[in-house]
Structure 1
Amino acid sequence: MRFKRNGSYTLNRKSKTKPNGKKPPAEEKKQYLEPEFTKIRVVDFDLKELVVLPREIDLNEWLASNTTTFFNLINLQYSTISEFCTGDTCQAMTACNTIYYWYDERGKKTKCTAPQYVDFVMSLCQKLVTDEEIFPTKYGKEFPNSFESLVKKICRYLFHVLAHLYWAHFKETVAMDLQGHLNTLYAHFIVFVREFNLVDPKETCIMDDLSEVLCTPAPPPAPTPAPSAPASAPSPSSQNHVTER
Structure 2
Amino acid sequence: MAENNDLASGDDILASYHLPSPKPLWLNAVYARHIVRGNFMALSARPPTVDMGEWVAHQVVEHWRMLVTFIRLVHDKDETGHTICNGRTCPKMSAGPNHSFTWLNSRLEPVEIPAYEYLSLVQRYISTKIDDAAVFPNDPTGVSFAPYPGASSSPSSPPNSGGGSGPDWVGRRSGFPQNFLDVCQKIFRQMFRVYAHLYWSHFEDPLYHLGLEKSVNSCFSHFILTATTLDLLGPADLEPMQALVDLWAANGTFPQDSRAYGYANLRAGERLLALAGATTAV
TM-score over 0.5 for the pair: yes
Residue 79 of structure 1: which of 69, 72, 78 is its match?
72
Equivalent runs, 1:41-190 vs 2, <5 Å: 41-82=34-75, 83-96=83-96, 97-138=98-139, 139-140=141-142, 142-172=175-205, 173-190=207-224
1:101 deviates by 1.2
Separation in structure 1 between the aligned mates of residue 19 and residue 244 of structure 2, nearest angstrom: 19
Amino acid at match of 1:38: A
1:164 deviates by 0.3
- Cα distance change on mapping 1:145 and 1:105 into 2, 3 Å: farther
Separation in structure 2 between the aligned mates of residue 116 and residue 107 of structure 1, nearest angstrom: 17
1:218 deviates by 4.9
Percent identity, aligned pairs only, is: 26
- Name the structure 1 match of 2:28: 34
Structure 2 residue ranges without an equivalent (≥5): 1-17, 76-82, 143-173, 256-282
- Name the structure 2 match of 1:209: 243
Aligned structure 1 segments of 4 or more residues deviating by more than 2 angstroms = 25-29, 212-220
Quick check: 2:184–2:232 contact (8 Å CA) kept in 1? yes
Quick check: 1:121–1:157 contact (8 Å CA) kept in 2? yes
SS in 2 for 1:80: helix
Quick check: 2:188–2:227 contact (8 Å CA) kept in 1? yes
1:26 deviates by 8.0
Rg larger for: 1
- Name the structure 2 match of 1:200: 234
- Cα distance change on mapping 1:30 and 1:136 into 2, 3 Å: same
Separation in structure 1 between the aligned mates of residue 204 and residue 195 of structure 2, nearest angstrom: 14
Quick check: 1:183–1:214 contact (8 Å CA) kept in 2? no
Separation in structure 2 between the aligned mates of residue 157 and residue 27 of structure 1, nearest angstrom: 24
Separation in structure 1 between the aligned mates of residue 110 and residue 92 of structure 2, nearest angstrom: 13
1:106 deviates by 2.1
Quick check: 2:225–2:254 contact (8 Å CA) kept in 1? no
Amino acid at match of 1:147: F
Amino acid at match of 2:213: Q
1:120 deviates by 0.6
The alignment's C-alpha RMSD in Å is 2.0
CA deviations over 1:116-175 (Å, ceiling 9, x no partner):
011111110001011111001212260000000000000000000000000000111100
Amino acid at match of 2:43: L
Aligned residues: 195
TM-score, with length taken from structure 1: 0.75
- Cα distance change on mapping 1:58 and 1:105 into 2, 3 Å: farther
1:75 deviates by 1.2
Quick check: 1:46–1:217 contact (8 Å CA) kept in 2? no
1:27 deviates by 3.5
1:189 deviates by 0.3
